[in-house]
Amino acid sequence: MIKIVALPVLLLSFAVSVVSCDHDKNAGQVRAQSSASITPVQTPKLTFPPDISPPPTIDGVRTMQYVKEIVAFGPRPVGSANHKKVEDYILAHLKNDTVEKDAFTADTPEGKLPVHNIIAKFSGTKDGIVVIASHYDTNYPLRNTSFVGANDGGSSSALLLEFANQLRGKPREGYSVWLVWDDAEEAIKPDGSGGLRQEMPFENDSLYGITHLAEKWEADGTLKKIKAFLLADMVGDADLNIERDTNSTPWLEDVVYEAATRLGYQSHFFARTLPVSDDHIPFVKRGVPSADFIDFNYGYNDVFWHTTQDTVDKLSPKSLEIVGGTMLETIRILDKMDPLPRK
Ligand SMILES: [Zn+2]
């Protein structure tokens, strides 16, 4: 996780307008209409198809074991020997899967650094792709500390490995699912956390891997096939509260809440509403429906975020099950929603 704009709810409309995109403008229009009319504006309600098979399950204990194995390599900042070990570890898990690598050299404030995105593709019967992404690098400015990012980068990367277990070897009656371990998500210069001074605007010095992938997929036409972009980040906190992110696509957030409700997990979702700047932004900007699964209250007032306290003892297998199950249920609902809203 790179950064957040944390503002009181009353200021949200201003905060969201800073990030310019279509649905923000629409929200403004709806507000204007509401104030001019006594009758509340009727927004179209989504119709959710029923589930006709058992709900998806995630092995939380196995996923937690993956988290432990990832952090056991130590800090894994981009360009480091540990980073290469984690990359090989992920690839070893995917050895019998269809894997694509997206490798390039990024120009950063610290010079040129190698960036390696990993994509595992699981084919479905339906035309279109749902992407699930997680960054796997750790915070670069903390590279010389013991920071291992158990929650920040570790929990979600482990969850994607478990998704691969769930998807592997089974026919998918639905969209293709692509798992993306994106790289160099974290800012290279200190990003304002831990009392450090912000030296670079975050979008100019972070999201290197996922931005490259979004640009590449836009150029080769892949982007048009992506029905939804689901992001997991900081999803292992034992005290789990996933945010309603106002930078995510509103209708897709509604699907997420429906999925959580179907599994009985809704009390872990959307108690707070706030705008989050994360790996989904390059896809949001390109009009791909996107949802960020993030709990940005990691310890009281987020005290463990980007500190050496981000360790596995703060996490729980149940939280990984809750987020993982809800992401898979979200895809199951999307598979059956025909047609999907376009934006
Ligand atoms: Zn982070």
pLDDT of residue 55: 87
Per-residue pLDDT of the chain (343 residues; tens, 9 = 90+): 766 554 433 333 333 332 323 323 233 333 333 333 444 444 567 889 998 888 888 999 999 999 999 999 999 999 999 999 999 999 999 999 999 999 999 999 889 999 999 999 999 999 999 999 999 999 999 999 999 999 999 999 999 999 999 999 989 999 999 999 999 999 888 754 433 445 446 667 889 999 999 999 999 999 999 999 999 999 999 999 999 999 999 999 999 999 999 999 999 999 999 999 999 999 999 999 999 999 999 999 999 999 999 999 999 999 999 999 999 999 999 999 988 887 6
The alpha carbon of residue 62 and the mean position of all alpha carbons in its chain are separated, in whole angstroms, by 20
pLDDT of residue 18: 29
Tell how far the Cα of 166 is from the centroid of ligand 1, in angstroms.
27
Tell how far the Cα of 259 is from the centroid of ligand 1, in angstroms.
26
Tell how far the Cα of 255 is from the centroid of ligand 1, in angstroms.
26
Tell how far the Cα of 327 is from the centroid of ligand 1, in angstroms.
21
Tell how far the Cα of 270 is from the centroid of ligand 1, in angstroms.
21
The pTM for the full model equals 0.87
Tell how far the Cα of 311 is from the centroid of ligand 1, in angstroms.
13
pLDDT of residue 3: 62
Tell how far the Cα of 333 is from the centroid of ligand 1, in angstroms.
30
Q: Encode burial over 42-74: b for 16+ CB neighbours within 10 A, e otherwise.
A: eeeeeeeeeeeeeebebbbeebbebbeebbebe
pLDDT of residue 44: 60
Tell how far the Cα of 234 is from the centroid of ligand 1, in angstroms.
8
pLDDT of residue 76: 98
Tell how far the Cα of 3 is from the centroid of ligand 1, in angstroms.
7
Tell how far the Cα of 140 is from the centroid of ligand 1, in angstroms.
9
Could you give the CA distance from residue 194 to residue 229 in angstroms, rounded to a whole number? 30
Tell how far the Cα of 339 is from the centroid of ligand 1, in angstroms.
35
Q: Largest Cα–Cα distance of the chain, in whole Å?
A: 63
79 sits in the region (left: phi over 0; alpha: psi -120 to 50; else beta) called left
Tell how far the Cα of 137 is from the centroid of ligand 1, in angstroms.
9
Determine contact, residues 332/56, Cβ cutoff 8 Å: yes
Tell how far the Cα of 245 is from the centroid of ligand 1, in angstroms.
17
pLDDT of residue 4: 56
Tell how far the Cα of 250 is from the centroid of ligand 1, in angstroms.
24
Tell how far the Cα of 57 is from the centroid of ligand 1, in angstroms.
27
Q: Which of 316, 10, 288 is nearest to 151 (CA)?
A: 316
Tell how far the Cα of 184 is from the centroid of ligand 1, in angstroms.
10
